[in-house]
Amino acid sequence: MDTTGKVIKCKAAVLWGPHQPLMIEEIEVAPPKAHEVRIKMVATGICRSDDHIIEGFLKTSKYPVILGHEGAGIVESVGSGVTCVKPGDKVIPLFLPYCGECRGCTEPKSNFCRKSDIGKNTGLLSDHTSRFTCKGKLIHNFICTSTFTEYTVVEETSVVKIHDDAPLDKVCLVGCGFTTGYGSAVNLAKVEPGTTCAVFGLGGIGLSVIIGCKVAGASKIIAIDTNSTKFEKAKELGATECINPKDYDNPIHEVIQQMTEGGVHYSFECIGNTDVMVSALLSSHVSCGTAVIVGVAPSVSILSFSPRLLLPGRTLKSALFGGFKSKKCVPELVTDLIAGRFNVDSLLSHKLPFKEINKGFDLLRKGESIRTVLEF
Ligand code: CND
Ligand code: ZN
Ligand code: ZN
């Protein structure tokens, strides 16, 4: 049945308010307006950022909301004026849009498009409305994507066509986890051959940083986590040493300084914990080290350290989505994955049917999963 131009009724996971389980509800998804695209989701991954909203750490969303920002699907229909994709195309929604015109898009060193809802927190599309309703109520959109639904509507600046042969249950990880971590190493830090790296937090993001450090030719990759069950995968992906801060009496940055003659060239915080961000900074070499903040800290938190830590020459940096311009890098990384240049299989720890989404979040909270991919 042709659904073009019609309202679609489908199932979605609605978060009605913080600290609540996601509710599988029947929702209505309006047809795409001009320059919008309606997507039938095929697979979506669970990232810690979604959980931060459920737990109320991040105030980046309005409730009720449909979360999810790491997914892949097939275009169902397009609004007028859309030329970048057509019905039937395999696509990845982009939580970091690319309009190609704003300062963030045109500056070579930036990837933060003005169309991003991160920081604005409207929970709406550009025309200040949403395409989702449930039980007569408006349901908000989440950072231009909302992938925890059988159908979503995004703007053309927030979607990109990928290779026809892409396995959507795997390449959905290119929508956030893999690209954010990998890009933080190769594109943001620009890790060079022979350098030393420390990666704090071995979830989907941290393990992808390790993949990037290895591809870049780092000679030493120290993986740090308070959950030692994460070490096996970290080693498999390229970590040369794995350490658990709980096994040491002295602070972990001192341990890392001792292991690396004064500190690593590159350290990465992939947790979202401000204390660990300072540890990562202290673990980087005092005059040639770079600390990269990848994790997202709670909205109300403040990072506090002496500016003297930077004075001798340390660098502190951060970016969303590995600093990559989303529309350009996503199709390239998907093609690289199909060609076997990377492998995301070890990031994909669990697969569940979409309706078991709450079980997927439980696995993440218990530290048992890396990435759970939900299939529709
Ligand atoms: P996930 O929760 O899977 O991994 C975090 C890891 O950190 C786990 O293995 C924990 O055991 C470990 N950990 C927790 N506390 C400590 C500690 N004190 N010391 C050492 N290890 C610890 O999370 P994820 O990999 O999905 O996401 C990681 C962060 O990245 C998170 O903050 C998320 O919000 C953020 C992120 C950033 C971006 C971006 O664009 N920059 C995009 N998506 C997510
Ligand atoms: Zn994410
Ligand atoms: Zn832009």
Q: Which atom of ligand 1 is nearest to the CA of 205?
A: 25
* Model pLDDT for residues 173-208, shown as the tens digit of each residue: 999 999 999 999 999 999 999 999 999 999 999 999
- The DSSP secondary structure of 136-168, one letter per residue, reads TEEEB--TTT--SBSEEEEEGGGEEE--TT--H
- For ligand 1, atom 17, the nearest C-alpha belongs to 226
At residue 61, the pLDDT reads 72
Neighbouring CB atoms inside 10 A of 233's CB total 18
Ligand positioned closest to the Cα atom of 247: 1
What does the alpha-carbon distance between residue 13 and residue 156 come to, in Å, rounded to a whole number?
23
Q: How much distance in Å is there from the Cα of 300 to the middle of ligand 1?
A: 17
Contacts (Cβ under 8 Å, ≥6 apart) of 340: none
* Model pLDDT for residues 310-351, shown as the tens digit of each residue: 999 999 999 999 999 999 999 999 999 999 998 899 999 999
The residues of the chain scoring below 50 in pLDDT are: none
- For ligand 1, atom 37, the nearest C-alpha belongs to 295
φ and ψ at residue 233, rounded to 5 degrees: -65, -40
341: its two tokens: 């240049």
Angstrom CA distances, 259 to 198, 222, 236, 341, stand at 11, 9, 21, 31
Ligand positioned closest to the Cα atom of 70: 2
Neighbouring CB atoms inside 10 A of 213's CB total 33
Best residue for ligand 1 mutational test, from 51, 233, 271, 368 (most atoms within 8 Å of Cβ): 271
367: its two tokens: 């530290």
Q: How much distance in Å is there from the Cα of 241 to the middle of ligand 2?
A: 26
- For ligand 1, atom 34, the nearest C-alpha belongs to 49
Q: Which atom of ligand 1 is nearest to the CA of 52?
A: 34
Ligand positioned closest to the Cα atom of 103: 3
Active site residues per annotation: 47, 49, 52, 69, 176
Q: How much distance in Å is there from the Cα of 361 to the middle of ligand 2?
A: 14
At residue 60, the pLDDT reads 67
Q: How much distance in Å is there from the Cα of 308 to the middle of ligand 2?
A: 32
The share of the chain scoring above pLDDT 70, in percent, equals 100
At residue 57, the pLDDT reads 86
At residue 101, the pLDDT reads 98
* Model pLDDT for residues 108-119, shown as the tens digit of each residue: 999 999 999 998
Q: Residues enclosing ligand 1, CB less than 6 A?
A: 47-49, 52, 176, 180, 200-206, 224-227, 230, 245, 270-273, 276, 294-296, 320-321, 364, 367
Q: Which atom of ligand 1 is nearest to the CA of 275?
A: 18
At residue 294, the pLDDT reads 98
pTM: 0.98
Q: Which atom of ligand 1 is nearest to the CA of 244?
A: 20
Q: Which residue's structure tokens are 């980046």?
A: 60
At residue 299, the pLDDT reads 86
Please, which residues have CB less than 5 A from ligand 2, an ion? 47, 49, 176
Residue 373 bridge partners (DSSP): 45, 351
